Amino acid sequence: MRRREALLAIGFVLMPLATGTIASAWQRAPAQGSNPHVASFSEKVQSMVPEFEAVGRPMADVAVQIAYKYKLPMAIEHVDLDALRKPLRLTLKGQSVRQVIAAIVASVPGYQVDFSRGLVDIYSPAARRDPSNLLNMQIPRFEVDGLDTHLADAQLLCDIGRQLHGHSGCGGSVAGGQWGKRKITLHLDNRRVYEILNAIVAQNGEALWVPIAQPKEGSPLITGNFWYIYPLDPPFERSAVERLRELPLSQQRAP
Amino acid sequence: MATRFVDESTLSTWNSSNSGIASASGGYVSGESPGTSTISGTYDGCVGWANQIVCECGSFQPGTGSSTVNVVQVPAVLKVVNTQTSSYCSGTSCLLEVWYRVLDGSGVPIQIPGMRIAEAVSGTETGNCTGTLQDQGSWNTDSTGTMSGPDYWWWCCDSGCNATYSFNQTFTVDGYSVQVENGSYAGSHNVVTIQCSNGQGTCPSVVPTP
């Protein structure tokens, strides 16, 4: 029999958040194009957590873990060294998911969380003021109709490219077929990139977007994506955490 | 008295509880297929040496030992198992769907759900227009070891855009770098080429390349 490549493991012996700015989650209208998933968002964040312990893990890891555990659509718009490395020491009892998330976010300076748009939006006000941050670019018109989530956010990258470079080509390699029948329809005017990503994730209802390292292209004329939207299916949790950790230090520091 | 150790692996008797999973001989174990097997070895002491010159040690004792081995397939190849094209970009270009299956180094499918496939793409362009590239895709596998969804390759060209785009696409599966294979083509990466001519785009050509 032909020997197969194998990994052999053998040992053989023969002889001897609590204070951040938290907008009211249920008083504002959800994002445009909301779907039934968003309707259950408020129930998810109000559900009670008998005991929660986050000890020795950084905020970004814990936030991702909560998103997957409670199937909460989430945006982590920005991470810095503290969010990625500073170990939390947090033990909570009898709190709601919303309170737990707020406490986690509040444990790292410079972050806030918003629950008002049909997703958990963890952001840095300072990063949102940074004009060099492409997530703050304003897109005059974003229109997608019935698109797969990844094709919808690819369309956003196309819009960014046109705004940066004028006429261009755009496209790429996109992971398809991960969202079932869920499609994205959005018509948005004069929104920032992060707002559009938040709207996509809120409408999807079971997704998480995080910033990722922009790939180094062979040509300066090609712009790569600098975020990624993950399904809230268990196999993707590790990918999301690992991708966050791969962010270069320059992107991890708060502006 | 100094203790001296002698390797008697080749003089021992070796056995595998499931030789279809792992075989043992001369002290070496070979993986044959995924699974678990118990490897045991027996040494009969100096008895077998009676007619030879001299026992190297007067106090060799018989003995046995065993250990469990887990044979695991390691991802080595992503093989194209299906492709499909359709019109895209309002009819000015096309969308190529590529499905891959994970194989081990012997070409045997690894039928494990939840393996993580990740890509990296870098690109260059020649021509009069720029490009924005969506990549860094993540997939997982179904119970047959096939991507749970396709890799969509597509490229839309704005009017007035005349350019050739070339991309190198590499993959990892659960962190292992893998080769790509499509029919008679195989290599460490895909070379993907797309041309824009006055706003009209070609279907992406994806070719495994050494």
ipTM: 0.72
Judge whether B83 lies within some domain.
yes
Structure-model confidence comparison of residues A23 and B150, the more confident one: B150
Residue after which a domain boundary falls, among B71, B92, B113: B71
Q: What is the pLDDT of residues B167-183, one digit of tens each?
A: 899 999 999 999 999 99
Percent of chain B with pLDDT over 70: 89
- Rg value, chain A, Cα: 20
Query: Given a cut of 90, is residue A214 above it in pLDDT?
Result: no
Domain identity same for B52 and B112? no
Q: What is the pLDDT of residues A54-95, one digit of tens each?
A: 899 999 999 999 999 999 999 999 999 899 989 999 999 999
Residue numbers in B near A4 (CB within 8 A)? 31-33, 71, 73, 104-106, 108
Q: Do B69 and A9 touch (CB under 8 A)?
A: yes
For residues B149 and B97, give the distance between their C-alpha atoms in angstroms, rounded to a whole number.
9
Q: How far is CA A200 from CA A23, A51, A214, in A?
A: 20, 32, 20
Give the pLDDT of residue B133.
82
Angstrom CA distances, A251 to A107, A211, A239, A247, stand at 20, 9, 19, 6
From B24, B44, B71, give the residue that closes a domain: B71
Of A184, A186, A143, nearest in space to A37 by CA: A184
CA distance A204 to B140: 19
Residue type, B41: G
Q: What is the pLDDT of residue B2?
A: 62
- What lies within 8 Å, CB to CB, of A131 at 6+ separation is none
Q: Are B152 and B134 in contact (CB under 8 A)?
A: no
In a domain, B3, yes or no: no
In this prediction, residue A230 carries a pLDDT of: 93
Q: Is residue B1 a part of any domain in this protein? A: no
Domain co-membership, B66 together with B87: no
Within B18-161, strands assigned E span 22-25, 28-31, 35-43, 63-73, 77-88, 93-103, 116-127, 130-134, 138-140, 151-157
pLDDT band for position A179 (cuts 50, 70, 90):
confident
**Do A178 and B163 lie within an 8 Å CB cutoff?**
no
Residues B109 and B138 in one domain: yes
pLDDT attached to residue B4: 63
Residue B95 lies in a domain: yes
> Could you tell me the CATH number of the domain that includes residue B95?
2.60.40
Q: Which of the listed residues B53, B71, B89 is the one where a domain comes to its end?
A: B71
As a whole number of angstroms, the distance between CA A204 and CA B59 comes to 73
Considering the domain architecture, whether residues B67 and B81 belong to the same structural domain is answered as: no
Domain count, chain B: 2
pLDDT at B12: 85
B4 domain residue, yes or no: no
B122 and B104 share one domain: yes
Q: Which residue of chain A has the CA closest to B152?
A: A174
Distance, in angstroms, between B112 CA and closest chain A CA?
Answer: 12
Q: Band of the pLDDT at A10, cuts 50, 70, 90? A: very low
| Same domain for B135 and B47 | no
Question: Of all helices (H) and strands (E), which one includes residue B185?
Answer: strand B185-187
Helix (H, G, I), strand (E, B) or coil at A111: coil
**Are A63 and A101 a contacting pair, CB within 8 Å?**
yes
Q: pLDDT band at residue A178, thresholds of 50, 70 and 90?
A: confident
Nearest to A154 among B8, B134, B148 (CB): B134
DSSP B27: T
pLDDT at B102: 97
Same domain, yes or no: B102 and B168: yes
Q: Is residue B141 part of a domain?
A: yes
Q: Are residues B107 and B21 in the same domain?
A: no
Q: What are A59's two structure tokens?
A: 């905020």
Query: CA angle A79-B114-A224, nearest 5°?
Result: 40
Average per-residue pLDDT for chain B:
86
The answer to whether the CB atoms of A230 and B138 lie below 8 A apart is yes
**Given a cut of 70, is residue A251 above it in pLDDT?**
no
Q: Supply A93's token pair.
A: 């009892």
CB contact under 8 A, B131 and A221: yes
Q: How many CB atoms lie within 10 A of CB A146?
A: 9
Average pLDDT over residues A143-153: 91
Q: Which chain A residue lies closest to B94 (C-alpha atoms)?
A: A171
What pLDDT score does A154 carry?
A: 87
The parent domain of residue B170 ranges over: 77-209
Do B67 and B84 lie in one domain? The reply is: no
Q: What's the pLDDT score for residue A213? A: 79
Same-domain pairing of B44 and B109: no
For residue B56, what pLDDT is reported? 52
Q: Are residues B143 and B175 in the same domain?
A: yes
Assign A3 to helix, strand or coil: coil
**Beta carbons within 8 Å of A8's beta carbon, 6+ residues apart:** B22, B29, B31, B69, B70, B71
Answer with the residue of higher pLDDT: A168 or A24: A168
Helix (H, G, I), strand (E, B) or coil at B57: coil
- B129 to A165: CB separation less than 8 angstroms, yes or no: yes
- Residue numbers of chain B with a pLDDT score lower than 70: 1-5, 45-61
Asked whether residue B19 is domain-assigned, the answer is: yes
- In angstroms, the CA A156 to CA A150 distance is 10
Where does the pLDDT of residue A202 fall: very low under 50, low under 70, confident under 90, or very high at 90 and above? very high
- Residue B130 has a pLDDT of 80
Pair B161, B138 in one domain = yes
Pairing verdict, β A184-192 and A48-55: unpaired
Task: Give me the pLDDT at residue A24, please.
Answer: 30
**Domain assignment present for B2:** no
